Each structure stands twice: as structure tokens, then as C-alpha cells.
Structure 1
Amino acid sequence: MMLTFYKYQGTGNDFVIIDNRQSILTKNDTKLFARLCDRKFGIGADGLMLLELPNNEQDDFTMVYFNADGKESSMCGNGGRCLVAFAAYLGVISDTATFTAIDGPHKATIKKDLVHLQMQNVSLIEKFDTHLFLDTGSPHHVTMVRELANYDVKNIGRKIRNGAPYFEKGSNVNFVEKKQDGVFDVRTYERGVEDETLSCGTGVTAVALSMHATNLTDRQEVVVNTLGGELKVTFQETENGYENIFLIGPAKQVFKGEIEW
């Protein structure tokens, strides 16, 4: 059988997307998803998403996300933005969306080719001597470094991701360098991909909140430069933590194709 797929990217974070509203695929076919994401033997992607029918009357669709290893994963911010763009392409939505992902409900708006994705509120940011830890839909370790361009992200990121206290469950690992007030560069090692990616949406969100929480910026609109391009994060600080968090950036269709499965 031939499977129709779409390839999308958000600041270089790339995804295979499948319209699964007719339940073509089952969610337990992890070997298939891993093969489709394989850059040598498949299509090649950091992850795979299924756009499915909503489970309630409020939603426009449901987001189901799998890492490149084929396993269903926690929230993917860039993936969510790409799926919103895909839903608009299909005509499922116009310029606003309400959908549910593994971490709960999300809202999004498309404005001038940029997808504004509302993330979950963050009430807790753990501060340590060498890093911060927080969950922005996915777990993130955030640490400041110097000379980020020359940093060994892959090897050091892998060591942190697999070490204490994360071990097998793991954490995404973000290395950050401040460029100017409200502007930061980041490189991210992603679990599930088990490598550095060009961009990570939940990681960019974690970085923006961490920089504000440690007084490295007082701005509530933060620019974060990834290897794949620029993203913005806006938020509001409240007595309960951070709310009204939006991840903002482009999401582009790269191509449409068919593959035997």
C-alpha cells in the first residue's frame, strides 16, 4: 500500500505529517514510524505527527506526536506549529485553531505566515548551581555556556540527557548564550532524536522563561536564535508562575509524497 505524507519544517525542526482522520494508521506501529523518520531508509525527520479527528466538540483536531525513534512522545512546540499550518492547508481551520495534544489543550493563530502557538502554563522552574529544569510540555535542562558556536552539544548533551537525575527517562538539554538584552542563542540536544536538532520549540520556550526567571532579561518578549532560525516567546509573569505563553515562528510545507508501507 502507498501512504500519502507531507513534510513540514519549523526553523529546521522537520516532521513527517499524515492526515489520519480516517484512521489509516494505528498508534502502536512504532517500527513504521521509526522507519519513516529514518534519514537513510525512510523519508527523514525529527519526528512524525498524525492529525486526527477531535475528541470533543471544542477542538478542531487532535495532535499525536512520535519521536524519530518511533515512540509516542511529550509535546513538541515546533511540531504543534507545523500541524496548525497543515490543518490550515487541509482546510480544517482558517487562521485560528483549538486542538488537544498529549499535554492538554492548545490554541493557535496564524498571522502573516507566523504560527502563534499557546503553550501550557509553567508554575515551577527548578534552579540549581549549574542549570535550571522545567517542563514546558516536555522536560528541559537549561544551562548557560560560552562560545556556543564551538560547543560540543552532541556529546555533552547526550551525557547530561542520560545521567543523574534523568537516566532512562531522559531530558532535553539546552545550551544558551546571551547575545544582548532579550536576545539569546540556543542549541538543543533532543531525547528521542538522540542528537542535536536545528530547533526545539519547547526548548526555546524553556530558555525564554529561564532567562527571565534568572533575571538575565526583564523582557516578556524574548527572541531566541536557533541553528534553524529565529523564534519568539511571549509570556506573562504572575504570582502562579508564567501564563499566556506563546511560541511564535514560521512553519513551512517542504513537499508532499507517497511511500510504500
Structure 2
Amino acid sequence: MEIPFTKLHGNGNDFILIDETGSVVIPDEMKGEFARLFCDRRFGIGGDGVLFLVNAEEADYGMRLFQPDASEAEMCGNGIRCIAKYAFDQEYASEICTIQTLAGIMEVTMGYDDEGNFTAAIDMGEILFDCADIPATGEGEYQKEIEGYTVYAVNTGVPHAIAFVDDIESAPLSDVAPKIRFDASFPEGANVNFVQVMSDGAITIRTYERGVEEETWSCGTGATASAAVAHHLGKTGNEVVVTTKGGLLTIHLNDHATMEGPAETVFEGQIVF
């Protein structure tokens, strides 16, 4: 048995992509275990998750994401850019397409620039601040003191916890982040983002991702969530450049949030049984 796959990444947030538009390749009951096995960086292909490109009734295509702990995530900003690039390169989609996720339908505008670089802009929809068991303050912010940090709750397709720090390099990703991630305030768990606001109004973030259970090089929904909270608090404008460990993303904040960034194909291969 041979299973074709494509490896892609968005700012270092890397994925194994399985094309199921023609037929089901991995049965649904086996998708989680498949991700657990093949996301392993020593005994598998390696990745932060497995993307399944599937057909959809209400959109051009659908995306399902299974993570290294075998759980299924609602959506992923970097993952959508990767799956959009694959669909574009395969000529499944043109410059504008819609992708259905468990968090809703996302519209993608994409293409290559004159230098051959692929970029996709994702309409991330409305930002939700009332999304966790955290009370609102008088200013309408949902925040709570957790492990000595003021943590803000926000949902950009998946739940996020945002904490501002003075020095992003010393952010406690290994010890404090897991405690915030599993705090009872987040019934479904949360990705944890430490955020430093820079002097020019940009922000730098580091993200501990649930499901991966460690720091990832980039998180598109985390960048969007961090920018939204920073803007809501008056720390930035409504166009925010976000530096992640793997590169830059640009977040545009109006009635909806739009995330813009790159995606790259790393290699193609076959899993042989």
C-alpha cells in the first residue's frame, strides 16, 4: 500500500498533507492515530499536524487537522494557508476560494508574487472575547490572573490565552504555559501566547500549542488573537505586524480579522506499507 503525501509549512509551522478529494485515504476512525504516528520527528515524517484536504458541501473544499496527540483541532491559520497553496498548485482552486473548517468557512485570497513567493490572506471572521470561564472587566476585557500573569481570553477559531511580557526571550514556555493551557478557565484547553509589544507598534509572540504540547515556530490563529487583544487594549493600530519564531505575519483588524502570510512546499513523498 502506498499513501502519497505532501509536506508544507507556514513560517515553520509544518504539516503533512493528505489529499482526500478523490477518495478517503485514511478512515476517520484512524486519522488521529495516523497523525500520532507520522507527526513523530524521529520515527515518522515529522510535523505539527496532519492536514486532510476533503470535499465540502458548503465551500470549495474542506480542511481537517489532526494533531500529534491524535486530537482534531477546529482550525489552523497556518494550516489553511498550506492547504490553500496545495489546492492552488494542483489547480483545484483559483485566486479566491473558500475552505470549510470545524470553526466555520474561511475565504482565502492567494497567489504568487513576481519573485515566485506564495502568499495567502485568510478572512478569519469575527474575534470572540467572551469565550472562556473568565469574567469580563468593566472595560469589556476577559482577563484573569493565572500563575502570576494577567491572561486574556480570545477565540480566533480555536481558544487562546494571551499574556504580555517585557522580554519575549525569557517567556516561560516550558513551565508556566502548560499550566495556563490546562487551567480550568479554558474548558477546551487553550493555546498560550506570550506577547511583547515592540517600540514600533509591532508585536513579537511565542506560542505553546495544545495538541502539539510544546512551542511551535508559528501559530496563525495565535498571531491573530495576540494582535486582536493588543489592539483592543490600545497597544497597537489596526494593522499589526507579528513576528513569530518562523517569520512574519500581518494581521488586519476591522469588523473581521484578516491574516496574511506565506506557505511553502517542502517535499512530496509516499508512505509505503
Instruction: Give me the TM-score of the superposition, normalised by structure 2.
Output: 0.88
Residue 26 in structure 1 maps to residue 27 in structure 2: yes
Question: 5 Å matches for 1:61-210?
Answer: 61-111=61-111, 112=113, 113-124=118-129, 126-128=141-143, 130-166=150-186, 169-210=188-229
Report the alpha carbon displacement of residue 153 of structure 1 after superposing the two structures with TM.
Answer: 1.0
Task: Give the superposition deviation at 1:70.
Answer: 1.9
Question: Cα distance, 1:164 vs. partner?
Answer: 3.0
Shift of 1:89: 1.3
Indicate the SS of the match to 2:92. coil
2:49 aligned partner? 47
C-alpha deviations, 1:15-73, integer Å up to 9, x for none? 000101111222221212211111111110001110011223xx221111111212211
Q: Deviations over 1:141-194 (max 9, x none)?
A: 000012211223122111211223236x31110000011243000000000000
Measure how far apart 1:108 and its partner are.
Answer: 0.5
- CA offset at residue 109 of structure 1? 0.7
SS of the equivalent of 1:180 reads: coil
Q: Aligned partners of 1:228 and 1:97: how far apart in 2?
A: 26
Q: Does 1:232 align with 2:250?
A: yes
SS of corresponding position for 1:28: helix
Q: Deviations over 1:106-127 (max 9, x none)?
A: 1011143211011121243543
Taking the aligned partners of 1:135 and 1:27, their CA distance within structure 2 comes to 26
Q: Tell me, which stretches of 5 or more residues in structure 2 are unaligned?
A: 131-140, 145-149
Cα distance in 2, alignment partners of residues 152 and 124 from structure 1: 24
| Superposition deviation, residue 103 in structure 1 | 0.6
Could you say what secondary structure the match of 2:256 adopts? strand
Letter paired with 2:125: Q
Aligned counterpart, 2:138? none
Count residues in correspondence.
Answer: 251
Q: Is the 8 A contact 1:15 1:79 kept in 2?
A: yes
Question: What value does the CA root-mean-square deviation take over the aligned residues?
Answer: 1.4
Distance in structure 2 (CA, Å) of the matches to 1:143 and 1:25: 38
C-alpha deviation, 1:245, in angstroms: 1.3
| Aligned residue in 1 for 2:137 | none
Are the counterparts in 1 of residues 129 and 142 from structure 2 also a CA contact under 8 Å? Answer: no
Q: Paired residue for 1:239?
A: none
Please report how far the alpha carbon of residue 87 of structure 1 lies from its aligned counterpart in structure 2 after TM superposition: 0.5
* Cα pair 1:176 1:184 within 8 Å, conserved: yes
Q: Which runs of 4+ in 1 moved over 3 A?
A: none
Distance 2:260 2:28 in 1: 29
Write the distance in 1 (CA, Å) between the matches of 2:244 and 2:164: 15
Query: What's the TM-score, normalizing by structure 1?
Result: 0.92
* In structure 1, C-alpha distance between the alignment counterparts of 2:128 and 2:44, rounded to whole Å: 40
